Amino acid sequence: MRVLLEFCESIGIPRADMMKLFDADGNVPLHSAVHAGDLKAVELCLESGALISTQQHDLSTPVHLACSQGAIDIVKLMFRCQPDQKMGCLTCADAQNMTPLHCAAMFDHVELVNFLVDEGASLNATDKEGRSVVLLAAARSAWKTVTSVLKLGADLGLQRDNQGRNLLHHIVLSSGSIEEFTTSINDRLEDFIQLLNERDSYGCTALHYAARNGQLKSIQSLIALGASVNLKNNENQSPLHFAAMFGRFNTVRHLLDSKKGHLIINEMDGMGKTPLHLASQCGHVRVVHLLLVKGALLHRDHKGRTPLHYASMNGYNNTMDQLLAVHSHLLDQTDRDGNTALHMAAMKNRSSTAINLLNLNCKIIKNGLDMTPMDYALHYKHSEVAMAMVIHPSRSDEVMTCQVKTYSCLVEGLIAVMPEVMTTVLDRGISKSKMSHDSDEYFVKYSFTCLQNSEGADVVPMTDEPLPVMNIMVRYGREELLSHPLSVKYLETKWNAYGIYFHILNLMVYTVFLCFLTLNAVQLMQDNKKRHQGISSFEVADAFVRPSLATLSSMTSVVVLSFVLVNVVKEAFQLIQQRTKYFVDVMNILEWTLYLAAGLMALSQLTRIEEKSYQNIVAAVAVFLAWFNYLLFLQRFNRVGLYVVMFLEILSTLLRVVMVFSVLIIAFGLSFHILLARVDLTVQQPIFDHRTGNVTFKPISLGDKGFHTPLVSLIRVGTMMLGELDFLGTYLRPLRNLENSTWYQIVAATLFLVAFIILMPILLMNLLIGLAVGDIETVRRNAQLKRLTMQVRLHTDLERKLPKRILDSVDRTEVSIHPNQKGTGNIFWRTIKRWFGSPRNNGNGVQSRNSKNLHKSFTQFIESNINDIHQQLGRQKDKIREISRNMEMQVTLLRLLVSKMEIKSEAEELDEGEFNSASLARDTAEQVDGDSATDIK
């Protein structure tokens, strides 16, 4: 460094200018020398003209840096070399408004602090947070400096920071020893005692912070010095409130054992909460037990809540048990809003707490807002607590029948908001016997109590609507619930009880109508043929001999017309009932068209109207719609209905796709019409005459190929998409016979044909096939939902028309199925049910046999070992609880052992509570107890 300075001087740069150069942080060479702690480098910088008052970017001088390091030799050197800068540096403040004395005191450099004070540094200077030297030293646990500064005459009474905290506050917050501190400043003890009951800006005394942190030694010392235990902070909380809130068991015991302990045990804070409220709110079981033993009363806070409300709100089951063991009447106590502890558990989604309360036989009541606990679970979508309540082993029926405010019943709320919970409810309706799955006695029992009202348990309000739960599922579109095995079995039971008989009867009646309509249409065609060809005299005579043909035609017409009139009356009644909704259903329009066409055809037969052009059209429409409607009738039967609905779904998709890509059909149709419709040419078509053996040529116009009008051209393009291109006759042969004036139009049409082949038959058709294959699973699911929806509506309509006596006789609350037993009964009915009954699947489509067997094997394994799983889980929970208790006992024994051996440790001075081992053991036990209350689905 000396060589560098000499070189710079040799080239004309003064040393003083070199000492003013700074880096990115504003450090001049003197700062760097102090940082390095090199005394000779500092001395060289000072000799070269560096100023000790030079500040870097954070306003720190070299003196600040030296004081932070405790380098007293460097400080003395700087003051000796530049005495005129000394006072300026001692009063200079950095960015934190700290003087060099603050920096020395902060790091507990006692010797340097004494030197600076002797040199004239002020003890009352404050930093940015309003802390004097002694307060900053106490906040940084620099106890030697604190003692030294006090001996140097620092004023205790005036020392306050920006938050109003005095020296005693900082000693407690920094976990200092008050006993040792008072011993060291025995001559100023009276001034120190004056600080005991002083409050900071939050209203807290030193005892508040000692109680919060669980500093047992500090608490004992403060109480012994005369600190008041009943002073309140700005929130009207005493030190006992703090100790109870943070679970400081021994602190609570010391405070209650003080002279005024009996006066503060039931004091309320600003919210009306007693220490018992706060301990219960935070789940400190031992503190709750201690307060109850010491005589804590069960007051209500300003919201009317008891300690049980807060314990339930935060899910502390052990705390709840402790409270109820002493005061069992708290179980159904309500707050100002009418909320019970169960309401609080539902609001905060505490499932284990809800189970615990239900086990204790709490009441399920409404609050002041007319809301039950299930209302809050539905409102906040707390599926865990809702699940725990609806599957409770002994109270589930009561929960399912409770009324809710937002929905007509609880089942509707579960279906609308929590379908996964409703799925669990449906799962509980299926029970399997414990026998082997291969045994003939093995059975599966389906209980329908959650789908319909049973004796003493109304899960839905009494209404005139049949199948209310199933209709709610349809209303909210819950396919997973409709296709649940219990729902499918419920519909199957309804179907086998009465649905199959009525629908087969309906199908048979419609089949008779279809036969008569078809026969009537065939007779119409025969009559038209005879009128068109003429009747000979022999045929006239034969007609007189066989008049039964005319009679048969009239009879079929009368039957068709009667059926039409009956169904028109039926549709009119539906129109009156449904009003505008009637026209939304396309099937109603289809049926009206069918009945109108069939009626006109039958009337034409009865009135013997001469042949007119509309008769054949009407007959064709009637026959087509009648058979198409027959296909729609098959939707009602489970085995074949799914395929019919899938067909309609694909048809709907196809129509939508055709509407989109009809733009290409129109584009190519009009292009071919423009290019080929008006081409004036005649193609000589060779024709072979078999009688003469000669070949003649017949002229054929290009317009006969289907492009002479725009509409015909569009239809022709549609047939071309299916492969009917006729390339030889329409494009290649005319190309060889055209004149030069029209030759280019055929060439252009051929180019359009190439584009058409690429875009339509290849690209579009393959796209449609790909969509059909890739979307088949979605189509199947939609078809499944629509089929189940249709079944629910059919059963609903049918039950509206059937007498209640018949429905009561066929309704069943449960069904037992023996899958390994062969069916018995009439062969005819077994065949009918095999074809028109429910298929033997789970409602989720056809699976491969291997996947079914694998799923069955896995299910059997789980069911056969479920008891072992329950036992193992129970053992593990017992072990965890035992370990938690042992940990707590060991901590207590270690404390006693340490106290007997008179071993002084830091742990001995700290109370249990949050973030300590005892708290960890308590939280673990609390969690285990909460989990043990939850059933395994």
Checking if the pLDDT of 688 tops 80, the result is no
- Of 91, 115, 142, the position where a domain reaches its end is 142
Question: Residue 923's pLDDT is what?
Answer: 43
559 token code pair: 């039957």
In this predicted model, which residue has the larger pLDDT, 933 or 86?
A: 86
**What does the block give as tokens for 102?**
């603050």
Task: State whether 675 and 725 are in the same domain.
Answer: yes
**Whether 614 and 691 share a structural domain:** no
pLDDT (0 to 100) of residue 312: 96
pLDDT at 838: 53
Mean pLDDT of 553-574: 86
pLDDT of residue 635: 80
pLDDT of residue 902: 58
Give the residue, 766 or 126, on which the prediction is more confident. Answer: 126
> Residue 866 has what pLDDT?
60
Structure tokens at 58: 């954070």
Q: Is 308 helix (H, G, I), strand (E, B) or coil?
A: helix
Could you tell me the pTM of the whole model? Answer: 0.73
The pLDDT value recorded for residue 775 is: 65
Higher pLDDT, 864 or 811: 811
Taking alpha carbons only, the member of 212, 255, 204 closest to residue 232 is 204
Task: Dump the DSSP string for 721-754.
Answer: HTT---HIIIIIHHHHH--HHHHHHHHHHHHHHH
Instruction: Give the mean pLDDT of the chain.
Output: 81
Check which CATH number belongs to the domain holding 53 and give it. 1.25.40.20
Residue 662 domain-assigned? yes
Closest by Cα among 911, 918, 914, 903 to 254? 911
**Does residue 511 register a pLDDT over 60?**
yes
pLDDT digits (tens, 9 = 90+) for 752-771: 888 988 888 888 777 777 76
When pLDDT is cut at 50, 70 and 90, the band that residue 354 belongs to is very high
Checking if the pLDDT of 921 tops 50, the result is no
Specify the higher pLDDT residue, 701 or 397: 397
* Token code pair at residue 579: 């009003």
Note the maximum CA span of the chain.
155
Average pLDDT for 420-428 = 93
- Mean pLDDT computed over 486-505: 86
- What pLDDT was estimated at residue 864? 55
More confident of the two residues 583 and 350: 350
Say if residue 632 is in the same domain as residue 681.
Answer: no
Judge whether 35 lies within some domain.
Answer: yes
In a domain, 422, yes or no: no
Read off the pLDDT of each residue in 413-424 and give the average, rounded to a whole number. Answer: 94
More confident residue, 219 or 548: 219
pLDDT of 515 higher than 50: yes
Q: Which of 251, 179, 166 is nearest to 210 (CA)?
A: 251
**Do residues 775 and 892 both lie within one domain?**
no
User: Is the pLDDT reported for residue 846 higher than 50?
Assistant: no
The pLDDT of residue 685 is 63
Same domain, yes or no: 526 and 552? yes
- Which range has the worst mean pLDDT, 274-283, 305-314, 861-870? 861-870
Q: Please state, in angstroms and rounded to a whole number, the distance separating the CA atoms of residues 75 and 101.
A: 12
Per-residue confidence (pLDDT) for residue 609, from 0 to 100: 61
pLDDT at 808 over 60: yes
- Confidence label for 887 from pLDDT (cuts 50, 70 and 90): confident
> Is there a domain that residue 298 lies in?
no
91 and 5 in one domain? Answer: yes
Helix, strand, or coil here: 814? strand
| Backbone CA torsion sign across 162, 166, 169, 172 | positive
Q: Do residues 707 and 632 share a domain?
A: no
Residue 175's pLDDT is 87
Beta bridge partners of 685: 698
Compute CA distances 431 → 389, 440, 863, whole Å.
20, 17, 11
| Structural domain that includes position 731 | 652-780
Average pLDDT rounded to a whole number, residues 791-797? 85
What's the average model confidence in pLDDT over 414-421? 94
Say whether both 877 and 767 belong to one domain.
Answer: no
Based on the fold, state whether residues 626 and 657 are members of the same structural domain. Answer: no
At residue 466 the predicted structure's pLDDT band, cuts being 50, 70 and 90, is: confident
pLDDT at 536: 45
In a domain, 23, yes or no: yes
- Specify the pLDDT at position 170: 93
What's the confidence (pLDDT) of residue 537?
A: 40
Nearest Cα to 420, choosing from 374, 387, 467, 469? 387
Number of domains in the chain: 4
Predicted pLDDT at 311 = 96
**pLDDT at residue 342 is higher than 90:** yes
Q: How many CA atoms lie within 13 A of 32 on its CB side?
A: 15
Work out the average pLDDT over 504-529.
82
Chain-centre distance for alpha carbon 142? 53
Predicted pLDDT at 916: 45
For residue 682, give the DSSP letter: E
Q: Which pLDDT value is given to residue 662?
A: 85
Is there a domain that residue 689 lies in? yes
Average pLDDT over residues 914-931: 42
Tell me: pLDDT of 851 over 70: no
The fraction of the chain above a pLDDT of 70, given in percent, is 80
pLDDT at residue 113 in the model: 93
- Give residue 274's pLDDT: 95
Q: Cβ distance 403 to 438 under 8 Å?
A: no
Residues 855-873 pLDDT 10s: 455 555 555 556 667 677 8
Which of 603, 636, 669 is the C-terminal boundary of a domain?
636
Mean pLDDT comparison of 12-21, 594-603, 803-812, highest-scoring range = 594-603
Q: What is the pLDDT of residue 736?
A: 64
DSSP-H helix ranges across 865-916: 866-900
The reported pLDDT for the residue numbered 928 is: 38
Query: Is there a domain that residue 848 lies in?
Result: no
- Residue 845: which pLDDT band, with cuts at 50, 70 and 90? very low
Per-residue pLDDT at 549? 55
Residues 675, 629, single domain; the answer is no
Mean pLDDT of 634-645: 76
Separation CA 877–CA 928 (nearest Å):
6
What would the pLDDT profile of 56-81 be if each residue is shown by its tens digit?
988 999 999 999 999 999 999 999 99
Residue 785 has pLDDT above 80, yes or no: no
587 shares a domain with 671:
no
Least confident of 90-99, 333-342, 758-767: 758-767
Burial of 560 (0-12, 13-18, 19+ CB in 10 A): buried
Q: Are 114 and 144 in contact (CB under 8 A)?
A: no
Q: List, in order, residues 6 or more apart from 617 with CB less than 8 Å away.
A: none
Identify whether 512 is part of a domain: yes
Work out the pLDDT band at 683, boundaries 50, 70, 90. Answer: low
Residues 206 and 218: their CA atoms lie apart, in Å, by 9
Whether residues 659 and 631 share a domain: the answer is: no
Residue 233 — very low, low, confident or very high, per pLDDT cuts 50/70/90?
Answer: very high
The distance from CA 893 to its chain's CA centroid, rounded to whole angstroms, is 47
Q: Single out the residue in 765, 780, 795 at which a domain terminates.
A: 780
CA-wise closest residue to 328 among 304, 357, 355: 357
| In 367-418, alpha helices (H) | 373-379, 383-390, 396-400, 410-417
Using a 10 angstrom Cβ sphere, with 0-12 exposed, 13-18 middle and 19 or more buried, the burial of residue 696 is: exposed
In what order do the strands lie in the sheet containing 430-432?
430-432, 444-447, 814-817
Give pLDDT tens digits for 171-214: 999 988 888 888 877 777 888 888 899 999 999 999 999 999 99
